[in-house]
Amino acid sequence: MSQLPLMVEMTGLCAVVIGGGKVACKRAKALVENGAIVTIISPHLTDSLQELVSLGKIKWLDKRFEASDAREAFLLVVATDDEEVNERVLQVAAHIPLINDATNAERGNITFPGVFRKGKLTISVSTAGASPGLTSSILSKIREHYDDYGPYVDFLYECRQQIKHSSMDEGEKRRLLREIVEERYKDEEEQRQFKEAIDRRW
Ligand SMILES: C[C@@]1(CC(=O)O)C2=NC(=C\c3[nH]c(c(CCC(=O)O)c3CC(=O)O)Cc3[nH]c(c(CC(=O)O)c3CCC(=O)O)/C=C3\N/C(=C\2)[C@@H](CCC(=O)O)[C@]3(C)CC(=O)O)/[C@H]1CCC(=O)O
Ligand SMILES: NC(=O)c1ccc[n+]([C@@H]2O[C@H](COP(=O)([O-])OP(=O)(O)OC[C@H]3O[C@@H](n4cnc5c(N)ncnc54)[C@H](O)[C@@H]3O)[C@@H](O)[C@H]2O)c1
């Protein structure tokens, strides 16, 4: 298995999730939160999925999987507890660009990493399916270290836009962009002073 890590813009793309249990629920939420148009195929749903259906956030087809259900999908998640069904879905899904088999990492062509997200900062962790437990424990450590990085990344974004579009020479721009990633700029007072300094040179 050799997987390319990517950030994918899913807004407006069609995702089909087969199964309505706990795993399907995690995947459907992640997809909806990131703009995908999600359809769930399953004779049962968890309460949490029911709620998303009632809110109109996902579409539910209350039925067992049939081959025609996956026709329109750009991304397909296979997440039933019936191995025969999962195999049948994979057999008819060869034309779908992105396939996640939540029951066997080696069968699809994408896996979902563990994700830590704060504002513009995203840190993804994958073991290529080797140990979701290790992924979970690495994520806990990441959470401890990066929990307060949201506002800092916003500060970096704003300064970088300003520096990039300023009339400073390229060497000076590079120097400043390197300087602001020093840990001390997580401090609000340091940020304020830096902003003032680049405002003066704008
Ligand atoms: C990271 C995380 C994200 C998320 O789920 O959103 C995630 N699993 C998480 C936790 C977790 N999952 C499981 C346990 C129990 C301990 C254990 O079994 O080891 C724990 C631990 C726990 O709960 O702490 C059971 C399990 N998971 C998979 C299988 C099937 C198989 O191994 O093939 C089985 C056995 C099922 C069974 O036998 O019944 C498969 C996958 N799980 C993945 C992701 C993908 C690979 C990620 C990677 O590369 O590391 C992949 C391939 C699915 C995919 O791509 O969709 C999330 C932590 C998020 C967080 O902590 O925030
Ligand atoms: N990826 C992960 O992180 C992870 C974690 C735990 C378990 N799993 C595996 O994922 C699978 C699902 O786990 P779960 O906890 O969500 O199970 P679950 O029992 O909560 O849900 C299974 C769902 O599959 C649906 N289903 C059954 N037959 C169907 C059919 N013919 N068509 C459509 N839907 C059908 C059921 O209605 C139910 O909603 C299991 O095989 C489990 O081993 C994966």
Q: Which two tokens mark 93? A: 């899904």
pLDDT of residue 202: 65
65 in contact with ligand 2, CB cutoff 6 A = yes
Closest-CA residue to 60 (of 27, 17, 26): 17
Mean pLDDT for each 10-residue chunk of the chain (202 residues)?
91 98 98 98 98 98 95 96 97 95 93 96 95 98 96 96 93 96 95 92 70
Q: Are residues 185 and 102 in the same domain?
A: no
114 in contact with ligand 1, CB cutoff 6 A = yes
Q: Are residues 45 and 104 in the same domain?
A: yes
CA–CA separation, 33 and 152 (whole Å) = 23
CA–CA separation, 141 and 153 (whole Å) = 19
User: What is the total count of domains within the chain?
Assistant: 2
Domain membership flag for residue 51: yes
105 in contact with ligand 2, CB cutoff 6 A = no
How does DSSP assign 52-121, residue by residue? Answer: HHHTTSSEEE-S---GGGGTT-SEEEE--S-HHHHHHHHHH-TT-SEEEETT-TTTSS--PPEEEEETTE
Q: Are residues 4 and 51 in the same domain?
A: yes
The domain boundary residue, chosen from 112, 130, 160: 112
ipTM > 0.90? yes
**Closest C-alpha to ligand 1, atom 3:** 114
The residues facing 14 across adjacent strands are 37
Domain enclosing residue 74, as ranges: 1-112
Query: Residue 44 CA: which ligand 2 atom is closest?
Result: 37
The domain boundary residue, chosen from 58, 85, 112: 112
The domain boundary residue, chosen from 83, 112, 141: 112
- The pTM of the whole model exceeds 0.80: yes
191 in contact with ligand 1, CB cutoff 6 A = no
Residues in the chain: 202
Query: Residue 140 CA: which ligand 1 atom is closest?
Result: 61
Any idea what DSSP says for residue 186?
G
Domain membership flag for residue 142: no
Domain membership flag for residue 174: yes
